[in-house]
Every structure is written in structure tokens, then in C-alpha cells.
Amino acid sequence: MTVTTSPTSQEAESPVVTSIEAIAAPRLQHFDNLVSSPLLNGVYARTTEDSLVEDIACLRSLAARLSLRLNRLRCPIMRLPPEIIQLIIYAVVDAVERSSGGPKHWMPLGRVCHIFRTTLLGMHALWARNAFTSDFAANEQLLERAHDAPIVIKLSPISSLARLELALQHLHRAREIVIAGNIQLNTIIPGLHEQCLPSLKSLKLRRDTNFRTAAETVYSIPQTFSAPNLRHLEFRNVFVQSSQCWPTNLVSLKLHRSSHTDVSHLPSPESFLDILRSCVNLSELELKDYIPDLAQLSEAERNNPISLTSLRRLNVDQDRVNTLRLWRMLVISPSAVLKIAWEDEQSLEAHVEEASAFLAHVAAYNAVMPPVVSLQILGMHSESDNWLSFELLGAYCGTGDAQRLKFSDVEWTNIAAFTFVTDLWTGDELASAIARFSSIFQLSQILHLSIDSDIVECLSEAGLPPSYAHFKALQTLHLSFCKTPDAFTPLGELYTLEPSASAPTMLCPALKTLYISNDDAIEDTDESFSFSTLLYSLHETLSKRSESGVPVNVLELAFDTIEESDREYLSGVVDEIIFRTDP
């Protein structure tokens, strides 16, 4: 039997090597003969040199092509289709941008290999969206790499005059314009005169004001400007004087006015309502101190509804009176999410009473979407700042933005949020406001409650039961900004909340999960706090509940540092402890 063995690498040569050697050997000998010849003249030497340079260039090109194949053999990522490599590059770019990095941090991807460079240079839309980045001076180069792709123009208050002039030259190419800064707006807004920007999808103009600049130039959009495909519009201290030529295909509209800016700059009530009525496709509407005085409207006009049935999110931050006047005119989808804030000299309880105007909408939401099962109460109680916020939450339904309580994995859908800014309140007023809000929106049977410990302590100082006392069906209680035991020790005490009760009982008898966090400590704003100040009171409270037959099964803790010995100490009074230390 004959055994055939494969030749070793030394015994077998590549066909390419053999062919090149066969061609190169006589060629090299020919050049050697020419170089050593005494008859070689200057003209012939130059011709010979050109021939050698051409041969070397050819071999270099061949070597580069062979190296490319070798790299693809050694590196599997280079064998991926170009569209997959694009996805990888976009993932890197998105990660860089989330960490506030610019093109300088992802442009080196083009140096990884030839394929990455070719792919990156071919991603014209990527260069277009970064053409006016502030961390790269050569914006003209980025514009060239964008080719004909619609660009994003972003200018900040520190953008140079050269970048501002470049933006004016390329306005016609913009698909998104974001301008912040008074000097920048003073240049760009006149530049919109008689401009038609067919590629423009998003326009955001933001002017900063203070008491010194409030009386300066009023910025208004020229009526000769048009953008037929505009979908997203945001004005901050930029005003509209007429509803004529208003873009009617908007899906997002945000209009903000600083309190330093005179209300006379606002559009007339009639023009304002015409603007809203023309935006029949709106899915998001955000108004901050931009509603004119609707009391000037005739009764017939006030009774003329504004149909925005595509609306999914409504955010209004203004005085109570005009907010409610506008609300009574709106016809919106029952699944729309509300965020309402107002500041008024009324009492806290009066604010809550006015919120009943939104009850019908919340009830309609509960009928078509996952209903309210969670309530979050936040607040600030000090000599200079007093506000109270209620957020109604439902189980996350898979659409829209998911909301999480700080440092928790549970996802919620924000159904409605109400923030009331008022004068300093008393513990009695706070207790009355919480009870009335819960009664209006029928929250007595909610399963989850998140509340600032400051609110609990305010009631405790007034000698009142904690705010969670009346939620008997609670299964999960979250106490945020918890710095003292007073926030949770009532859970271990007996209370008689109803005169007809035969005996005192533990609060929240259905409670299964207690979640405590000190958000200041987690965010490194309270270096003086130590979890040990809560440890023994927490252990005692949990022990009392266990002995009374209403134990807490799960304890969640979100603190900067918890010693191992503290963890072991608490493990004896609950079935499970979850530690969350990452913000």
C-alpha cells in the first residue's frame, strides 16, 4: 500500500509566489544589467526608474489585496455583510453619544481596517447627523462626507461665528435644526425668511432669558417660512404671532415661555386655538406658560371643542385657571397620558379639589388600558419651596415610555401626574389633601405606593398617622429619601383608624414587600448618612409584624453602603432581602 503525505510548508510553495518569482527573476536580472552598464544614459535611467516604480506600485497593490483577504480570514467580524457592520458601527456611535462623546471618539473606527473605513465613509446619514458637532472643528469635511444626505444643524450659545455662517449656507439641506442662544437665534430666525425647507422634520428654537434679557428682542417666526414635512416643533421663548401658514402635519408640539417674558408676546387666544385645531395629528403636546388668557374668548368660542384624538401625551405647566379652561375644550384619546402642574395661592386641599376635573379622563383610561394600581407621592416642604405631586401609575403595557421607581426594576406606565405649587402647608392640610386625592381618584385599593419619607415625617410631627395608613390593600410600599426610622416604624405599631374598630391593628395588613431607599446617599449628595442609623429600628419593626402574623416577606434596600453584618442581622426577620446599590 502506498501512503501519500501532504507536502510541508517548506516543500510546497504558493502558486502566486512561484509565478511572481518566475516573472521577477529575469526582470530583476534585466535591471541589474542596466544598472551595471557603462552605456546607461540619463534618459534611459529615468525610463528604467519609472518602470521600477510602476512594478513596486503594482506589487504593493497586490500585497494590500492579499492582506485584506488575510485579515478577513483572521478576523470573523470582517466577513460580515456591510449592513451588519453598519449596525455595529451605529451601536458604537450610540454608546459614545450616550456618554456625551462626539465624532472624535468614534471616527477612529475607520482606522480599524479597510472594510470599516469603506463602510463608515459610506454611511452618509451618520455624517449628516453629526455635521455640526461641537467637538470637531472641520465641519466642512463632515458636510462633504454627508454627500446629499439631509443634515442635522445644532448650534449652542458658544458656537462660533464661522459655524453659524456655515449653518445659514446649508439651511436648505436640514432635516433637523436645534438652535440655542440669543445671538444664534438672532441670525438664524431672519435666515428663515422666505425659506422652504422640504427636508425639515424637526425644528427646535430655544432662547434663554432672565430678568436682564427679558425685555430684549422678541423672536417670532416669519410667516414666509414653510416646512411642509415638519413633524416636531419646539419653541422656548420664541413666539408665533399668527396661525397663518402654520405647519399642519405636526406630531409633536412643545411651546414654552419663561416667567420673565411678558405675556403680551403670546399669540392671541383665537390664534392659539387655531394653531391647536390645525394640528389634528398631534401625539404629544407640551405647554409651559404659553396659554394666552382664554377669558378673552367669547362663550361660543369657549364651547367650541378642540379635537386632538391622536394625542398620546399632554403636558401642561401653567396657572390653574387657564389650564382648566383649555382642558374643558380638549377632546383627546382616553389612553392619553396627562402631566399637569400649576402654581396658585389656593390651599393644598383646594388644589386637589380642582384636580377632580381630570377624574373622567382617568376613569376612561382605566376602562381601555391597564388601570391604576400604583400611586407615587412626592413633595418638598420648606420655607422657600413647597409643592406636592401625585403620580398615578399602571402596569407597563408595552407602549410608550416605561417608568421606574428609582433603583427598582419594576416598570410602570405613567397614567396621570399632578403637581401643585403652593404656600407652606401644615400636617393637617397635607393629610387632608392626600385623603381627598385618594377619595377623588378611588385609590383606596391600590396595591403599590411610593412616597417621600419627608411627607411621612411631616405627618408624624403633627401627631398624625402616616400617609400609607389608609391604603389597606397595599402589597408593596416604597419609602424614598429615607433617613430616619420615623418613616417606617409605624408599620410595627397598632392603630385604631376607625371608631367602629373592635381592636387596634397593624397598618397595611396585606403588605408583602417593603422597599426603602435613601436617594441622596445613593447619588453621593449625603455623605453624612449611615444605614446603621436605621438598622435596629428596621429589625424591630419587621419582627413586630412577623410576631403579629402580618410579616413582610421581601425587603428591598437601596443605599450607598450596607455592611455584611447588617445584612445577616436583617435576614432573620424576612424571607428575602434584595440589595440595590447602583443608581
pLDDT of residue 475: 94
Query: Residue 576: is its pLDDT beyond 80?
Result: yes
Highest mean pLDDT: which range of 16-20, 54-58, 358-362, 449-453: 358-362
Instruction: Between 211 and 388, name the one with better pLDDT.
Output: 388
pLDDT of residue 184: 87
- Written as one string, the DSSP assignment of 333-356 is -TT-EEEEEEE-SS-HHHHHHHGG
Q: Which of 116-125, 300-309, 471-480, 574-583 has the lowest mean pLDDT?
A: 574-583
Q: Which of 342-351, 364-373, 552-561 has the lowest mean pLDDT?
A: 342-351
Provide the pLDDT confidence category of residue 501 given band limits of 50, 70 and 90. low
Beta strands in 422-570 (DSSP E): 448-452, 476-480, 494-495, 505-506, 513-517, 554-558
Highest mean pLDDT: which range of 102-111, 306-315, 409-418, 573-582: 306-315
Provide the pLDDT confidence category of residue 516 given band limits of 50, 70 and 90. very high
3-state secondary structure of 455: helix
Contacts of 245 (CB under 8 A, 6+ apart): 223, 224, 225, 226
Q: Which three cell numbers stand for residue 220?
A: 417670532
Query: Residue 100: is its pLDDT beyond 90?
Result: no
pLDDT of residue 256: 94
Average pLDDT over residues 344-370: 90
pLDDT of residue 550: 94
User: Kind of pairing, strands 513-517 and 554-558?
Assistant: parallel
Beta strands in 382-440 (DSSP E): 386-395, 403-404, 411-421
3-state secondary structure of 137: coil
Query: Residue 220: is its pLDDT beyond 80?
Result: no
Provide the pLDDT confidence category of residue 211 given band limits of 50, 70 and 90. very low
3-state secondary structure of 389: strand
Provide the pLDDT confidence category of residue 214 given band limits of 50, 70 and 90. very low
Query: Residue 10: is its pLDDT beyond 60?
Result: no
Cβ-defined contacts of 125-130 (< 8 Å, 24+): 125/149, 126/89, 126/90, 126/93, 128/152, 128/175, 129/176, 130/102, 130/103
Query: Residue 538: is its pLDDT beyond 90?
Result: yes
3-state secondary structure of 76: helix
Average pLDDT over residues 55-82: 82
pLDDT of residue 410: 79
Q: Cα 174–148–246 angle (5° rounding)?
A: 25
CA distance 406 to 581: 11
pLDDT of residue 146: 93
CA distance 399 to 313: 12
Instruction: Between 52 and 506, name the one with better pLDDT.
Output: 506
pLDDT of residue 439: 93
**What is the percent of the chain with per-residue pLDDT over 70, rounded to a whole number?**
90
- CA nearest neighbour of 508 among 464, 455, 557, 545: 545
pTM value is: 0.82
Provide the pLDDT confidence category of residue 57 given band limits of 50, 70 and 90. confident
Provide the pLDDT confidence category of residue 408 given band limits of 50, 70 and 90. low
Exposed/middle/buried for 174, CB within 10 Å: 0-12, 13-18, 19+? buried
CA distance 233 to 180: 14
Average pLDDT over residues 78-104: 87
Return the bridge partners of 403, or none: 412
Indicate the residue type of 129.
R
Average pLDDT over residues 325-331: 96
- Written as one string, the DSSP assignment of 149-193 is S-EEEEE-TT--HHHHHHHHHTGGGEEEEEEESHHHHHHHHHHTT
Provide the pLDDT confidence category of residue 359 given band limits of 50, 70 and 90. very high
3-state secondary structure 508-532: CCCCCEEEEECHHHHCCCCCCCCCH
- pLDDT, the chain, mean: 85
pLDDT of residue 323: 95
Provide the pLDDT confidence category of residue 40 given band limits of 50, 70 and 90. low
pLDDT, one tens digit per residue, over 305-324 is: 999 999 999 999 999 999 99
What number of residues does the chain have?
A: 583
- CA nearest neighbour of 173 among 118, 124, 224, 209: 124
Q: Which of 55-59, 280-284, 564-568 has the lowest mean pLDDT?
A: 55-59
pLDDT, one tens digit per residue, over 151-185 is: 999 998 888 888 889 999 999 999 999 999 888 88
Contacts of 542 (CB under 8 A, 6+ apart): 492, 514, 551, 552, 555, 570, 573, 574
Q: Cβ–Cβ contacts within 10 Å for residue 388, how many?
A: 25
pLDDT of residue 127: 92
pLDDT of residue 521: 47
3-state secondary structure of 372: strand
Provide the pLDDT confidence category of residue 361 given band limits of 50, 70 and 90. very high
pLDDT of residue 5: 46
pLDDT, one tens digit per residue, over 225-256 is: 888 999 999 999 988 877 777 888 999 999 99
Provide the pLDDT confidence category of residue 1 given band limits of 50, 70 and 90. very low
pLDDT of residue 126: 92
Average pLDDT over residues 103-111: 86
